[in-house]
Amino acid sequence: SMDQTQSIPDQPSSVPPSQPKRKMTSMIAFFSKVSWKFKFQKQESSKNVFFILAERARDPNAKKRHLAMRGLGTMACEAPDQVRKHKKIMLDLLVHGLYDPVSSEVIHESMKTLTIILGKIQGKRLGSFFVDITLQIRTLLDDENDSMRYLAFVLLGQLAAFAGWKWKKFFARQVKQTRDSLLIHLQDRNPQVATACKTTFRACSPYLKLRNENSFRTEEDQRNPKLSRQLSHYHPELLQFFYANKIL
């Protein structure tokens, strides 16, 4: 600053007083130009980074595929404009990642990134990707890995919210075939998985046709004999759990 300049010893007396102002103005102009250039370069570099990640997502090396999926997740958070621009390419890469034949880490990272992207695009224009994601997620609901199960239930809940008219019948069939997993994991050994399952069960309940307008009127109405038989078939303690937690 000017004060700092004046405090420097042996400052030449021949320097005109107006020069620091001119210097300050030119410095501001310089930094503005650099800032604009940096912003432009950042936008350009994010494009380059996306295509590098896209290439590595198909790499024969599983570790590189895993890191690429993680990179796509970071990009989805920090550069959502790239998600919008390259949505189809990104979804295609992630769906391939979901079906990775070798690495469970690639599958796990693909699921994490998908939860971010589905949240960003609100499920709009998923097209046939909706089918591919649903079919694979169903197979992961009973996975031995707690984190994998958790993400599978989160994704299934998102899909329930985003199922458009085109996929409603398909999704209803898938949910009914997944009913055992939904019911069993309400009491999952991992509390986070159990909570995610409970949230997803509520989102999927219209497709199971278990909820009705009168389900909260009275205890007698709640204890529907047909529903009770259906639930007790899967687990004798589930019926009590449902009513205690007001899931239905």
pLDDT band at 124 (very low <50, low <70, confident <90, very high): confident
Tell me which fold the domain 45-205 belongs to: Leucine-rich Repeat Variant (1.25.10)
What percentage of the chain carries pLDDT values higher than 90? 42
What is the structure's pLDDT at 46?
Answer: 59
Residue 9's pLDDT is: 41
Do 148 and 108 meet the contact criterion of CB atoms below 8 Å apart? yes
Within 10 Å of residue 132's Cβ, how many Cβ atoms?
A: 18
Work out the pLDDT band at 167, boundaries 50, 70, 90. confident
pLDDT in tens, 189-207: 999 999 999 999 999 988 8
Structure tokens at 244: 């205690």
Whether the model clears a pTM of 0.75, i.e. scores above it, the answer is no
Cβ-proximal residues to 150 (8 Å cutoff; 6+ apart), any chain: 190, 192, 193, 196
Burial grade of 185 (CB within 10 A; 0-12, 13-18, 19 or more):
buried
**Would you list the domain boundaries of the chain?**
45-205, 222-247
Neighbours of 197 (CB within 10 A): 28
Instruction: Please compute Rg for the chain using Cα positions.
Output: 28
Q: Which residue has the tokens 């880490």?
A: 105
Amino acid in the structure at residue 73: G
Query: Is the pLDDT assigned to residue 240 strictly greater than 70?
Result: no
Tell me the residue type at 14. S
pLDDT of residue 200: 93
Half-sphere exposure of 95 (CA within 13 A, CB side): 17
pLDDT of 84: 80
